[in-house]
C-alpha cells in the first residue's frame, strides 16, 4: 500500500497556513474599517480605510490564486 | 453510439439522480453558516451556490479521473453493479437528509460502489489499498485539518477584533462570508460534480464506449454540473439547519473562518487529486470555529450523532449496494426493474416522512433541531 504522506502533509500545512493568514489579514482589514474618529461617527478614518483596502486586496489576491490553481487551462 | 444500451442509459439517469441528491445534501457545506449569520438570504444563498457548483464542474476534472481509474477494477465492473451501487448511495443520502444529518455523499457513493462490486465481481475486484489511500485517510485527516485551521483562525479573529466596533466587525465579516461561501460552492463543484462524472465515465468505459484511461466527455461534464447545480438550488434545508444552527451558534467571524478553512482544504486537496468529503471538511471547520470562540458553544450531542453517521455511511451504503447487486446479479433485467421500483418507493416514503415536519427557506433558522415525527408510514 502506498500512501502519499508528503502530499497529505502538504495539504495540511498549506490549508492551515492559508486559512490563518487570510482570516488574520481580513480581520486587520475589518479593524481598519472600525477606526473611526469618534465612537458615534461610523465613517472610518483615511488611515483606517487605506489599511482596510490593502488587507482586502491581499485577500482578493489569495482568492484569485486559488482559482488559478484549480483551473488547469491557466497552467 | 451503439455502445449505449438501455441499461447504460438507466445507469446514467441514476447517476444524475445521485448527483442531484449530492447537491441537495451539500448545499449546507457552503451556505449553512452564511444563512445562519444572515450574510445571505436563504434563497439568494442557494441560487449563488447552485450557479457556482455548475461553474465549478467545468473548471477541473482531476478527481473524475482518479475515481474511475482507482478504487475498483474497471475491467470487471458492469453497468449493473454501478446501478446497484448508486441505488445504495441515493437511498443513504435521502435517509440521512430526513434525519438532518450532514453525512458524506462521497462516502455513500464509494460505499455503494464497493458493496456492489464486491458482491458482483468478488472481493478482489475492490482495490482496498486504494480505498484506504484515496478515501479513508483523507476522510480522517481532512475534517481534523479543517477544524484545527478554523479553530486557530477563529481564535485570532476574536482576539484581534475584541476592542473594535461590534457593528463594523459583524458587518465586515458578513460581507467576507459572501465571498468565502461562494468559493466553497465553487470548490464543491470542482470536487463533487466530478464524482458523478467519474461514475458515468466508469460506466461508459465498462460498456466499451470509451477507452480505458479516457477522461469524461463534455456532455457528461455538462449534465453532471447541471444536476448538482439544480440539487444545490433546491437546497437540503434540513441539513442546512443542522450545520448552521445545530452544531453551534455561528457568528459572522466564525462563519468566515470556517468557510475559509473549508475552501483551503478542498482546493488544495482537489489540486492534488484527493477525493475527500466536502461535508466532513465543512463540518470539521464549523466545529473548529465553534471551539475557537468558546468551548461550551458546541452541541456535542449533535456532533456525536454526526460523527456516528460518518462512520456508518460507507458500510451502510455498501450493504444496500451489495444487496441490490445480488438481486440484479441473480434476477437479471427483472432484478434491475425490481430494485429500481423498490428504490423509488423507499425514496418516495422518505420524502413523505420529511413532509411531516418540513424545513424550508422560511423556517430554516427558527430552531436548531430537525425532528422526524413518528407516524404510521416508515
**Region of poorest pLDDT, from B44-58, B296-310, B317-331:** B296-310
The four Cα atoms B219, B221, B223, B224 give a dihedral, to 10 degrees, of 160
Q: Does B106 map to a domain?
A: yes
Which of A30, A39, A65 to probe by mutation at the B interface, max B CB count within 10 Å? A30
Q: Does B168 touch chain A (CB under 8 A)?
A: yes
B375 within domain boundaries: no
Interface test with A, best of B129, B271, B281 (most A CBs within 10 A): B271
pLDDT per residue as tens digits for the range B172-188: 999 999 989 998 888 78
Per the structure, the complete domain to which residue A42 belongs is given by: 9-74
Q: Does residue A9 sit at the B interface (CB-CB below 8 Å)?
A: no
Which of residues B296 and B308 earns the better pLDDT score?
B308
**Quick check: is A3 in a domain?**
no
Query: At residue B377, does pLDDT exceed 50?
Result: no
Phi, psi (deg, nearest 5) at residue A15: -60, -45
Q: pLDDT tens digits for B67-90?
A: 545 778 777 888 888 899 999 999
The answer to whether residue B360 is domain-embedded is no
Domain annotation covers residue B325: yes
Q: What are phi and psi of B72, to 5 degrees?
A: -125, 160
Q: Is residue B231 part of a domain?
A: yes
Is A2 part of any domain?
no
State how far residue B165 is from chain A, nearest Cα, in angstroms. Answer: 6
* Count of domains for chain B: 1
Chain-centroid distance of CA B5 in Å reads 29
The answer to the question of residue B371 being in a domain is: no
Of B244, B324, B319, residue with least CA distance to B289: B244
Q: Is residue A4 part of a domain?
A: no
| Residue B338, Cβ density class (10 Å: 0-12 exposed, 13-18 middle, ≥19 buried) | middle
Q: What is the pLDDT of residue B205?
A: 81
Residue span of the structural domain in which B11 resides: 6-355
Query: What cell numbers appear for A66 in the block?
Result: 486559488
Q: Tell me how many degrees the CA angle B149-B151-B154 measures, rounded to the nearest 5.
A: 105
**Residue B271 distance to chain A (closest CA, Å):** 6
Q: Is the residue at A55 inside a domain?
A: yes
Domain contains A17:
yes
- For the stretch B277-292, pLDDT in tens is 888 999 999 999 999 9
- How many folded domains does chain A comprise? 1
Amino acid at each position: 500500500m502506498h500512501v502519499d504522506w508528503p502530499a497529505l502533509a502538504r495539504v495540511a500545512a498549506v490549508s492551515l497556513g492559508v486559512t490563518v493568514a487570510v482570516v488574520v489579514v481580513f480581520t486587520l482589514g475589518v479593524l481598519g474599517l472600525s477606526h473611526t474618529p469618534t465612537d458615534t461617527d461610523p465613517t472610518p478614518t483615511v488611515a483606517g480605510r487605506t489599511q482596510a483596502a490593502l488587507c482586502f486586496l491581499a485577500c482578493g489576491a489569495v482568492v484569485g490564486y486559488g482559482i488559478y490553481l484549480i483551473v488547469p487551462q491557466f497552467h | 453510439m451503439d455502445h449505449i444500451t438501455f441499461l447504460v442509459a438507466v445507469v446514467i439517469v441514476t447517476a444524475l439522480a445521485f448527483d442531484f441528491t449530492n447537491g441537495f445534501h451539500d448545499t449546507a457545506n457552503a451556505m449553512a453558516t452564511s444563512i445562519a449569520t444572515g450574510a445571505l438570504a436563504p434563497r439568494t444563498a442557494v441560487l449563488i451556490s447552485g450557479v457556482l457548483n455548475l461553474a465549478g464542474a467545468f473548471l477541473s476534472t482531476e478527481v473524475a479521473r482518479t475515481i474511475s481509474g482507482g478504487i475498483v477494477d474497471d475491467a470487471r465492473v458492469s453497468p449493473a453493479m454501478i446501478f446497484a451501487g448508486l441505488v445504495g448511495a441515493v437511498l443513504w443520502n435521502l435517509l440521512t437528509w430526513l434525519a438532518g444529518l450532514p453525512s458524506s455523499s462521497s462516502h455513500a457513493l464509494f460505499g455503494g460502489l464497493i458493496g456492489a462490486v464486491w458482491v458482483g465481481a468478488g472481493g478482489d475486484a475492490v482495490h482496498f489499498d486504494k480505498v484506504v489511500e484515496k478515501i479513508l485517510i483523507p476522510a480522517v485527516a481532512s475534517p481534523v485539518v479543517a477544524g484545527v485551521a478554523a479553530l486557530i483562525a477563529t481564535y485570532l479573529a476574536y482576539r484581534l477584533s475584541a476592542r473594535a466596533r461590534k457593528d463594523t466587525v459583524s458587518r465586515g465579516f458578513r460581507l467576507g462570508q459572501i465571498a468565502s461561501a461562494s468559493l466553497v460552492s465553487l470548490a464543491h463543484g470542482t470536487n463533487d460534480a466530478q464524482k458523478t462524472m467519474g461514475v458515468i465515465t466508469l460506466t461508459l468505459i465498462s460498456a466499451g464506449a470509451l477507452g480505458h484511461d479516457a477522461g469524461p466527455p463534455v456532455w457528461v461534464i455538462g449534465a453532471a454540473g447541471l444536476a448538482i447545480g439544480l440539487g444545490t438550488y433546491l437546497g437540503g434545508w434540513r441539513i442546512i439547519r443542522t450545520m448552521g444552527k445545530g452544531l453551534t451558534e455561528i457568528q459572522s467571524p466564525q462563519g468566515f473562518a470556517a468557510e475559509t478553512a473549508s475552501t483551503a482544504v478542498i482546493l488544495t486537496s482537489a489540486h492534488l487529486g484527493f477525493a475527500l468529503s466536502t461535508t466532513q471538511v465543512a463540518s470539521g471547520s464549523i466545529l473548529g470555529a465553534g471551539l475557537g470562540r468558546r468551548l461550551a458553544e458546541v452541541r456535542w450531542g449533535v456532533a456525536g450523532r454526526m460523527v456516528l453517521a460518518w462512520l456508518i455511511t460507507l458500510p451502510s451504503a455498501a450493504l444496500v449496494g451489495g444487496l441490490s447487486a445480488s438481486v440484479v446479479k441473480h434476477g437479471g433485467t427483472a432484478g434491475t426493474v425490481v430494485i429500481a421500483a423498490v428504490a423509488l418507493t423507499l425514496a418516495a416514503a422518505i420524502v413523505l416522512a420529511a413532509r411531516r415536519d418540513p424545513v424550508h427557506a422560511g423556517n430554516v433558522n427558527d430552531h436548531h433541531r430537525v425532528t422526524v415525527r413518528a407516524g404510521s408510514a416508515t
